[in-house]
Amino acid sequence: MNRKISALSAVWLAALSLAAFEVRPLIFPADREATVTIRAVDEEEKKVLAEMPLYYLSDHGTWSDGKRHGDSRWRPEWEKIELKRGDGEATFKMKFHGEGWHTFRLGKPDAKWQFAPKEHKEFMLYSLKPDLFALRPWKGDIHQHSIRCGHAKLEPKVIPAYNRLVGFDFMALSEHWRQAASVEAIEAAKPWKCGLELFTGEEFHSPATTLHSVAVGHRFGINAWRDQNLKEFNRRVEEEKKKPIYRQYGLNEHELHEAAISMVLYQVGREQGAKLIAYSHPTGYSRPNRTEDPPENYRRFMLDNADYDALELPNVATSSFRVSTGVADRLMLMNALTVEQMAKPRDFSLVAASDNHNQKVPYFGKVYTVIFAKACDVESFAAAVKDHRSLALRNSLHEQYLIFGPPRLMKYQQFLERFYWPGHDALCRKQGELLLKLAEQGDASVLPEVEKLAAAIQAYRENCFAPAK
């Protein structure tokens, strides 16, 4: 069915399932009664909504009372839900027991509680416990590059538009060696009032190390501070080397120097106010004879001791889900290292990072971090990641995806992938197209419509959640 959804009608849009019924809200508080509204979008659906009974089953095979009904473990009975029907619209009230998926079917089951595939319409909803229901989902990417690094494609001023185009709510341009590029992007986007949150960012390094780490939210460049205070920096490195902790890792002279430099850079990042630091692609590329990859002893030391808040997983942006052997090896080793670190007493979370150097490519936007927070400013972002309210995602061009993070959030994200993000991303895409006209062509006439779409995106977000009481 081809239907053109305007920015304003999209605030009503909820996730469309196998049926095209519009259902709102999508997400409900657990163990509290709420009202659900179903709207038909054409005459055929009006007939179905007027005539067909509605049945319900949770993903645990239970009814709204939290209990399983029927004699068969494999084919539980479905609960019949009473509908209040109107012209092309129906409502019902129910209590969503527990947290998880809820499936509804408009149709008539047979004696074994089977629904003929072509003779019923289905939609799904989700319920959350109070702590997660109070939050909202946001997605973005804090590791990407611009032409300022010398080997990327786009100017900082246009990159925010490409981020909005792919549905991102937040971003950081974390240029190699420099924070200034992110400031350039922030200043360019300030007049837009589009709702996209931009953070200061930097991928910091040292000439003598294989260190790659991303800092966000800091006031002044980490590498810039080092360059301006080289004598003080070198003094701190020599003092750092004397700490006893280095001895237990079997570091040779070069590895010791490299580790001490890296640790001092982390210290400088915190001193400059970094809200969050992610240890970037800690595996290198996991191939023989790659001298730029971190030495094993150095990597072990840094994973155990560096002052990072999150590990990047995955950092493997490619044009297809059919990844090359080198990229697959890298992802597997990242996953293995992450699992190994989780067995240790230190605390960290996960973020995803595209490390993208050309935001025009079709696979930009397929690697991103999802956070669950009340807002997505840099403080909220950092707090969400540190509090394990983040997921690392890698999608492909073929709509397959990998999700890394806490199981509770992963299950919720699976629902969002199917039923929440499509409507959100459609609005962001329309706004992003306008922002590209503004950023690339200087067409300021789009600004009023950009602001309207910002309001529509916010309204869509809130209308997908049941009203708070």
Question: Does the residue 392 lie in any domain?
Answer: yes
280 and 228 in a common domain = yes
- At residue 343, the pLDDT reads 81
pLDDT band at 154 (very low <50, low <70, confident <90, very high): very high
Which pLDDT value is given to residue 339? 81
Same domain, 388 and 430: yes
Q: Is residue 324 part of a domain?
A: yes
pLDDT score recorded for residue 17: 36
DSSP letter assigned to residue 5: P
Regarding predicted confidence, which is higher, 417 or 6?
417
Per-residue model confidence as pLDDT tens digits over 140-153: 999 999 999 888 88
Tell me: do 369 and 457 sit in the same domain.
yes
Within 13 Å of residue 278, how many CA atoms lie on the same side as its CB?
32
In a domain, 467, yes or no: no
Q: Both 115 and 149 in a single domain?
A: no
On whether both 91 and 165 belong to a single domain, the answer is no
pLDDT value at residue 333: 78
Residue 468 in domain: no
- Residues with Cβ within 8 Å of residue 398, at least 6 apart in sequence: 320, 321
Question: Is 337 found in the same domain as 371?
Answer: yes
pLDDT, averaged across the chain: 88
pLDDT tens for 257-278 read 999 999 999 999 999 999 999 9
Tell whether 443 and 294 lie within a shared domain.
yes
Given a cut of 80, whether residue 327 has pLDDT beyond it is no
Domain around 385: 136-461
pLDDT digits (tens, 9 = 90+) for 84-114: 999 999 999 999 999 999 999 999 998 888 8
pLDDT exceeds cutoff 80 at 2? no
CATH number at residue 351: 3.20.20.140
* The last residue of a domain, from among 92, 109, 129: 129
Say if residues 278 and 381 touch (Cβ distance below 8 Å). no
Token digits of residue 85: 């029907």
**One domain, residues 99 and 189:** no
- Do residues 455 and 416 share a domain? yes
Q: What is the mean pLDDT of residues 284-290?
A: 50
Q: How many domains are there within the chain?
A: 2
Please check whether residue 39 lies inside any domain of the structure.
Answer: yes
Supply the pTM of this predicted model: 0.90
Residue 104, domain CATH = 2.60.40
Domain boundary among 82, 109, 129: 129
Q: Is 4 a domain residue?
A: no
Q: Please, which pLDDT band fits residue 253 given cuts at 50, 70 and 90?
A: very high
Regarding whether 289 and 170 lie in a shared domain, the answer is yes
Cis peptide before 314 (omega within 30 of 0): yes
Classify residue 197: in a domain, yes or no.
yes
- Tell the burial category of 118 from Cβ atoms under 10 Å away from its Cβ (0-12, 13-18, 19+): exposed
Same domain, 286 and 304: yes
Alpha-carbon distance 423 to 410, whole Å?
Answer: 19
Q: Look at residue 300 and tell me if it is in a domain.
A: yes
Burial letters for 248-270: b for 16+ Cβ neighbours within 10 Å, e otherwise? Answer: ebebeeebbbbbbbbbbbbebbe
Same domain, 30 and 149: no
Q: Which of 129, 145, 163 is the last residue of a domain?
A: 129
